[in-house]
Amino acid sequence: MPSLAEWNTTPATPARPVSVLDRIIAILDAVKESAGSITITDLASRTAMPKSTVSRLVAELVSQRYLSRTEDGVALGLRLFELGARASLPRRLVAAAAPVLRNLRDVTGERVGLWVQQGTDMVSIAAVAGRLPMLPTRAGMRSPALTTASGKAYLAFCADPAVVSRVSAPLPEDDADSFRRELADVRAAVMATDMEASYPGILAVATPVLSSDRVVLGAISIAGPSGAMDPDRVAPLVRAAGSTVTRRLAAA
């Protein structure tokens, strides 16, 4: 398992990747980091590879649609979009999170859940019962991303503004503004709360689950009876659980 310092930094570009696969991956990573398109010259300098090698590999990656040519270089291609959409995120997340969720429940005695975003909902992919019974957060259950702690934790870190606008679309203008402000606070605190807005009598606290590249994958939430569960006590534990899952995912 990598050390804390290791997973906390973005993976450094390997100095002169040796194997062909390493070179291909270094190119894909450099294009990804450019957040748009990048020229062959820039790619060569970022990957510390000769320009001729980069050119040859890029041509191959373009012909197989991993990259696409743009006006000013290359960008990530549609094959990666297709493969990414088929990659089994929930299964992977559940595997990495299961012991963390159980541990969080054992420490707090509260109900703990793992959620992924789908459309305007959060979908439960794993849950452990606590003081509150299993229902209603059994796996597969949907709840609105707009009001739940898990939804807000996810949206605050979601890089796709279209997802956030779609979820907040039903809100009147003023409420949409305060919702966006709340998400900024969530981002700063790496934690969201739901004070009985989704379910009467239930208080929830949630944190995002991020990949090692800081792409948001889902959210971990903890829920307990309002007035009995202390949000300030559970918040750091939930945040720590989120970081642990990130680390476990990176250590695959």
Q: Residues touching another protein: how many (CB under 8 A)? A: 52
According to CB under 8 A, which residues from 120 to 179 bind another protein? 159-162, 165-166, 169
Distance CA 118, CA 139 (A): 14
* Position 81 contacts another protein (CB under 8 A): yes
* Tally of CA atoms within 13 A in the half-sphere of 14 that contains its CB: 14
Residue 234 burial by Cβ neighbours in a 10 Å radius (0-12, 13-18, 19+):
buried
Please answer whether residues 77 and 61 qualify as being in contact, where contact means their C-beta atoms are separated by less than 8 angstroms.
yes
Q: Which two tokens stand for residue 111?
A: 């109900």
For residue 64, state whether it binds another protein (rule: CB under 8 A): yes
Q: How many CB atoms lie within 10 A of CB 65?
A: 13
51 counts as binding another protein under rule CB under 8 A: no
User: How far is 171 from 144, CA to CA, in rounded Å?
Assistant: 13
Based on the shown chain and the rule CB under 8 A, indicate whether residue 1 belongs to the binding site for another protein: no
Terminal Cα-to-Cα distance of the chain (whole angstroms): 8
Of the candidates 44, 49, 54, 57, which one interacts with another protein according to CB under 8 A? 57
CB-wise, 8 or 109, nearer to another protein? 8
Nearer to another protein, 49 or 206 (CB): 49
Could you say which of 5, 86, 188, 200 contacts another protein (CB under 8 A)? 86
Among 51, 65, 69, 181, binds another protein (CB under 8 A): 65
**Residue tagged 């709360």 (tokens):** 193
Return d(Cα 204, Cα 209) in angstroms, integer. 16
Nearer to another protein, 105 or 248 (CB): 248
89, two tokens = 């995120």
- Alpha-carbon 3 to chain mean position: 20
Q: Is 202 in the site for another protein (CB under 8 A)?
A: no
- The one segment of 78-86, 105-113, 172-180, 183-191 that binds another protein by CB under 8 A: 78-86
Contacts (CB under 8 A) with another protein, residues 220-249 = 249
Residues that bind another protein (CB under 8 A): 19-21, 23-25, 28, 32, 35-37, 56-57, 60-61, 64-66, 68, 75-78, 80-92, 95, 119, 159-162, 165-166, 169, 211, 213, 215, 217, 249-250, 252
